[in-house]
Amino acid sequence: MLSLAAAVAFGGLVSADVFAQQQTVATKGRVTLYAPPAQERQATSLDDIANAQPMPLPTIDFMPIDAMEADIAPLSQGTPGFSAGSRGTGQKTPVTVPVETLLLDEEDAGIAPQEYGTANHPYTTARVDTSGNNVTQTYPFRAAGKLYFRDGASSFVCSASLIKRGVIVTAAHCVAKYGARRFYTNFQFVPAKYNTLAPYGTWTGALPAVMTAYFNGTDVCAAGAVGVVCRNDVAVIRLAPQSGRFPGTSTGWLGYGWNGFGFTPNNLALINQLGYPVSHDSGNIMQRTDSQGFVSSSLAGNTVWGGRQTGGSSGGPEVVNLGIRGALSTPLGSESDPNIVIGTTSWGYTNPAVKQQGASPFLSTNIVPLVNQVCAASNPACL
């Protein structure tokens, strides 16, 4: 059986019926979108940031045979593809945000922390910045940030990253409650956040979207799972412009790839995970995990890598070919396009000895239609 850290009872929930009456939820084919009412799209509430708690990381309680288990086998995912990112101008619009009063949730205590564990899966987890915030504010790291939102009267935080000028990608469990046909509300994205500094400002979510199968609870999940270790724990959010601008103009944005882009024919890839786990620096400083990832056929085709990030890291990007490439005198390898997101942090093991995490795969059947829907009619957030 699965131990679901996501299955916490939150107070003050808004019913699906209320949303239906407001006619703010729309299903378009495989994708379901939420258009917030006008009052929700108003100015950023700093109280939401100050009081936000990490969204518990969904967990599973069974142990893998080994990090390189027999489970690793080629899977047919279709033809790999990708959409390139952009470096941006680097122009800042700094804002000071409140100190967060983060508490380590009981659920997160069960998986904290996640160097290698019983899965024999090596990794390195450390701050992005060696001193100050000199690295966080450079590309490609500045394209990642923190995502705040509400569930009723409670505020929560996940991680996210820009994949278009004004579109972020995160985990679906940071946007909607699995199978409940209900979106969370009041989304705010803070790129490159470092303690109380928001160097590129704060940005309001205007159009969140998840796969309909996740929204209505019919997604393909691992055996015995309910909303954890699923095929489509992926979401995108189109951001509202500010004076006609979007954050990606300054920060740049990461590319995104699908159908096994960046993986070898044996479904192995070097994963660079970015996020803000509450277990590290109280979630106030961006962390980076580097590990070899593999595609698990028994875990709904999810990518699994070694790491010890916890709650708050949900939705952070798994990137292949991370960084700024030097001037080369040798040929590039296959699928070498830089800074490509191929998944977002989705789950971890309840047993803290395992030290592995996982993510739903980016496929032509999820990330592509999600982006297409929020970018319909050549929306300027996507240009």
pLDDT for residue 9 is more than 60? no
What percent of the chain clears pLDDT 70, i.e. is strictly above it? Answer: 84
| Mean per-residue pLDDT, 233-250 | 98
pLDDT for 90 equals 83
Hey, is 207 helix, strand or coil? strand
pTM (two decimals): 0.81
| Mean per-residue pLDDT, 57-61 | 78
Hey, what amino acid is at 190? V
pLDDT for residue 4 is more than 80? no
Break the chain into its structural domains and give their ranges.
23-326+333-377
pLDDT class for 317, splitting at 50, 70, 90?
Answer: very high
Q: What is the DSSP letter of 327?
A: P
pLDDT for 380 equals 97
| Least confident span in 4-13, 102-111, 180-189, 235-244 | 4-13
pLDDT for 141 equals 98
pLDDT for residue 55 is more than 70? yes
Q: Is 216 exposed, middle or buried (0-12, 13-18, 19+ CB in 10 A)?
A: middle
| Mean per-residue pLDDT, 283-309 | 95
pLDDT for 66 equals 46
CATH number among 1.20.120, 2.40.10, 2.60.40, 3.30.70, domain 23-326+333-377: 2.40.10
pLDDT for residue 27 is more than 90? yes
Give the residue, 34 or 381, on which the prediction is more confident.
381
Tokens of 148: 């705040």
pLDDT for 51 equals 80
pLDDT for 74 equals 52
pLDDT for residue 237 is more than 90? yes
pLDDT for residue 194 is more than 60? yes
Give the residue, 272 or 66, on which the prediction is more confident.
272
Q: What is the dihedral of CA 36, 213, 248, 159, to 10 degrees?
A: 90
Spatial contact of 155 and 353, defined as CB atoms under 8 Å apart: no
Strand-strand pairing, 154-164 and 53-54: parallel
If residue 347 lies in a helix (H) or strand (E), which one and from where to where? Answer: strand 347-349
Greatest mean pLDDT among 129-138, 215-224, 317-326 lies in 317-326
| Mean per-residue pLDDT, 67-96 | 71
pLDDT for 63 equals 52
pLDDT for 142 equals 98
pLDDT for 87 equals 80
pLDDT for residue 157 is more than 50? yes
pLDDT for residue 311 is more than 60? yes
pLDDT class for 78, splitting at 50, 70, 90?
Answer: confident
pLDDT for 346 equals 97
pLDDT class for 101, splitting at 50, 70, 90?
Answer: low
pLDDT class for 232, splitting at 50, 70, 90?
Answer: very high
pLDDT for 224 equals 73
pLDDT class for 267, splitting at 50, 70, 90?
Answer: very high
**Within a 13 Å sphere around the CA of 321, how many CA atoms are in the beta-carbon half?**
23
pLDDT for 20 equals 39
- Rounded to 5°, the CA angle 3-4-8 comes to 130
CA distance 175 to 161: 14
| Least confident span in 113-117, 271-275, 289-293 | 113-117
CA distance 56 to 278: 10
